[in-house]
Amino acid sequence: METNPHHTNNTNGEGHFPYKGFEKSSYFHDLQYADANLMNRDADDAVRMTTNPDCYDLQIMGKTPPYGANYFYGGIGFQLSSYETGEVIDCVDIFKQPAFDHPLLKSHTIQIKPSSNRKGNGAGYVEGALNQAWWKYGECPERTIPIRRPQNHTNRHVIPLTPHMKRLNLSENIITPPRGHEYAQVSMIGGNYRGANAKINVWNPSVMHREASFSQIRLTSGPKENLNTVEAGWMINTDPSTSNQSELFIYWTSDGYQQTGCYNLECPGFVQTSSKIALGSRILPVSTYGGQQYDITIGITKNDVLGRWWLRVADVEVGYWPGEIFTTLGGSADVIRWGGEIVNSERHGLHTSTEMGSGHFPSEGFGKAAFFRNLKFVDDGSIERDAKNLKKYVTRPECYDLLLKVDPPNPFGVHFFFGGSGFSAQCAN
């Protein structure tokens, strides 16, 4: 019985949709029936019937040895849709989120809030800094978290998984960047860092097919072959499962982007505690050239009591990366990076037209070029300080550049403008 205007959040089966597959979705196998002669027959001609596939679905898999005729089924019940963006948000039981499929987190006890909160830096953020389109259609109930349904799954068909685009390590000792990745960023290197934050200007740059543009904060530790990293910011990734618009994202790895880690909640690892923020969801509104500017506050801070890296977006504690999933980040980070990154596939031997930031160079300044402002770090005494001793790193300034401003008395604090248009007469290959 429905007790409110929204659909119930009672789950069906294991509480996962059939596209999740074996060990995650519930299933029936060896389906048979007795015919008129009382002979057992495989149910090869079973017909799918679902009353509300957006809430609970079923996918007939046919005959699959050794399971015979079989199907996956289930769902989370309550979900929200944004008609503007086409996004579907599933409100998933907090105890059934992907994190707990990780073998090291099977007995994990959820921490709802950090055991201690650092003081904010006192600077307000630009109007409309964070708004997710699905909010106007409701909110997820208590004890659930919002998970954005991948758009290539909204047709409710089981599809084969494709490898995620791997992020590559950028070491301060590498003069030539990894092929296909270009950067405009600043770094603090060689300390014992327990956090970093900034306000990141949000845009919708143009991104070419199968490429990506990132504006992010990264905290890393360890050698490149065993690099541990936690990352957060906004991105546009033209993978078919994304919206091709600016989206909030996180990422992590514990082995230099080889076998571990993923975006958002696409694999076990990050433990989400907030019912308000959907990772991977569209950010609205975004900045316009010569018009209103919007930014989002992103912070990542180590909780020394339990060794967890907490993510804060605006004033919301979204969740944390548990210390158990890391090797070197079980302690502190030794590098912090703030800035932009693009993926350049170099189609036809030419440089990509994928834009970084706003798609305009930093020399154009406020309202035209993208920026990071109020750069802060948390030192080994858990005290938040202005970023200092920053090292600028730009792979190809004729394609994308960065202009650093170190003047904390300014309301923008330590900040920089960055970005570029990619392909041009000066940036052709």
Residues annotated catalytic, as ranges: 231, 341
Task: Give 71's contacts (C-beta < 8 A, 6+ positions apart).
Answer: 18, 27, 28, 31, 46, 48, 58, 59, 60, 61
- Tokens standing for 252? 């992590």
Region class of 420: left (phi > 0), else alpha (psi between -120 and 50), else beta: left
**Residues 325, 105: contact at Cβ < 8 Å?**
yes
DSSP output for 47-105: ----S-TTTSEEEEEEE-TTS-EEEEEEB-S-EEE-TTT--EEEEEEGGGSGGGGSGGG
Beta-carbon contacts of 33 under 8 Å, excluding residues fewer than 6 positions away, are: 40, 41, 43
Tokens 């991977």 identify what position? 280
Cα dihedral across residues 180, 321, 308, 415: positive or negative: positive
Q: Which two tokens stand for residue 28?
A: 């029936």
